[in-house]
Amino acid sequence: MLDGFDLSVREGEFLALLGPSGCSKSTFLNVLAGLAPQTSGELAVDGEAVSAARRKLGFVFQGYALFPWRTVRKNVETGLEIRGVKRAQRRSEAERFLRLVGLLEFADYYPHQLSGGMRQRVAIARVFAYGPEILLMDEPFGALDAQTRETLQQELLGIWEQSAKTVVFVTHSIDEAIFLADRVAIMGRRPGRVKDILDVDLPRPRDASIRHSPAFVALRQRAWASLKRELAHEPSALSLTEA
């Protein structure tokens, strides 16, 4: 449940939404995507009601949400088919984004033939190929091992830097939020609300080495302190990772 939730997302920014389990981070994304009802308040995308702006939005879920009967290439083409894009252009766009995520050679494979990290790459390629203006990502790397997760974080940043799309990224990981985002919106315990906004003034492009910089460590400490103050009286609600 959201209550007193107030947040503006700037065009072209990478915004991370950070908070403990049950604080309604995913609820906000679902309402924004039109997947859950909005019962009160105001919500707009470029001044339009969400119902009128859905074609501007793309969603990457926690699960891979791939069609098992379709090849990797055909999965990436799905959104383009819905938009009525011609076959040759669909194939060209699908292959362009598969190349970006390093999976072009697996274009004719099926999802069950891929690892978890590779399937998530397909999901990311599919939503970028669809061409949304705003990308919503609900803990897309949460189920992956640490090495694969860091690799995909780096690849996502590379694609985002080329596309200049607006991204809203939900995560439990403080390190992930700081590494990826321009700003981190920190949510408190239920009912869901934004408690603090952390500006991430780290240079871009970023690579893994920045995680060890004094500036990164200071931002991590600020985020952790903010979350601990909010949850001091409800320790059972704390479900976060610092790395």
DSSP string covering 17-60, please? EE--TTSSHHHHHHHHTTSS---SS--EETTEEHHHHGGGEEEE
When pLDDT is cut at 50, 70 and 90, the band that residue 235 belongs to is very low
Count of other CB atoms within 10 angstroms of residue 85 = 18
- Which residues have a Cβ under 8 Å from the Cβ of 138 and sit 6 or more positions away? 25, 26, 29, 59, 60, 61, 62, 170
pLDDT digits (tens, 9 = 90+) for 65-77: 899 999 999 999 9
- Which residues have a Cβ under 8 Å from the Cβ of 191 and sit 6 or more positions away? 1, 2, 3, 4, 24
The pLDDT of residue 238 is 43
The pLDDT of residue 242 is 55
pLDDT digits (tens, 9 = 90+) for 39-67: 777 777 777 766 655 678 888 887 778 99
Q: How many Å apart are CA 93 and CA 78, to the nearest integer?
A: 11
Residues 21-35: what's their mean pLDDT?
A: 78
State the DSSP string of 131-174: --SEEEEESTTTTS-HHHHHHHHHHHHHHHHHH--EEEEEESBH
The pLDDT of residue 71 is 97
Q: What is the pTM of this model?
A: 0.86
The pLDDT of residue 230 is 64
- Which residues have a Cβ under 8 Å from the Cβ of 148 and sit 6 or more positions away? 115, 116, 117, 141
Q: Spell out the domains of the chain, with CATH numbers in brackets.
A: 14-68+135-237 (3.40.50.300)
When pLDDT is cut at 50, 70 and 90, the band that residue 215 belongs to is very high
Q: Which run of H or of E encompasses 125?
A: helix 116-130
The pLDDT of residue 228 is 82
What value does the mean pLDDT of the chain take? 85
Q: Is the pLDDT at 236 greater than 50, yes or no?
A: no
The pLDDT of residue 63 is 75
The pLDDT of residue 26 is 80
**Strand, coil or helix: what is 208?**
helix
The pLDDT of residue 4 is 64
